[in-house]
Amino acid sequence: MSVYKVIELIGTSEKSWEDAAQQAVAKARSSLRELRIVEVSKLDLKLDEKGNIAAYRARLNISFKYDN
């Protein structure tokens, strides 16, 4: 039997939502073991003071095997 934990991360990128998601997964991979599922729960944009796109943001739910 296995138990999994789910955490929420937000990745950001000046390029794209895909890159923002990849940034979050890469960071999770560097500190968590046995990542299982990544669900994109929300995509949004950060705007600068002129209303131009400053950053793409991807909110992810990431599950990984829980060791106790």
Domain residue extents for the chain: 4-65
pLDDT(66) > 90: no
The single-letter DSSP state of residue 51 is: S
Q: Which fold has domain 4-65?
A: Dodecin subunit-like (3.30.1660)
pTM over 0.75: yes
pLDDT(68) > 90: no
pLDDT(46) > 80: yes
pLDDT(4) > 80: yes
- The answer to whether the beta carbons of residues 11 and 66 sit under 8 Å apart is no
Please compute the mean of the pLDDT values over residues 25-51 and round it to a whole number: 95
Rg of the chain (C-alpha set) = 14
Q: Which is it for the CA torsion 32, 38, 18, 15, positive or negative? A: negative
Residues 16, 3: Cα–Cα separation, whole Å: 33
How much of the chain, in percent, has pLDDT values that exceed 90?
Answer: 84
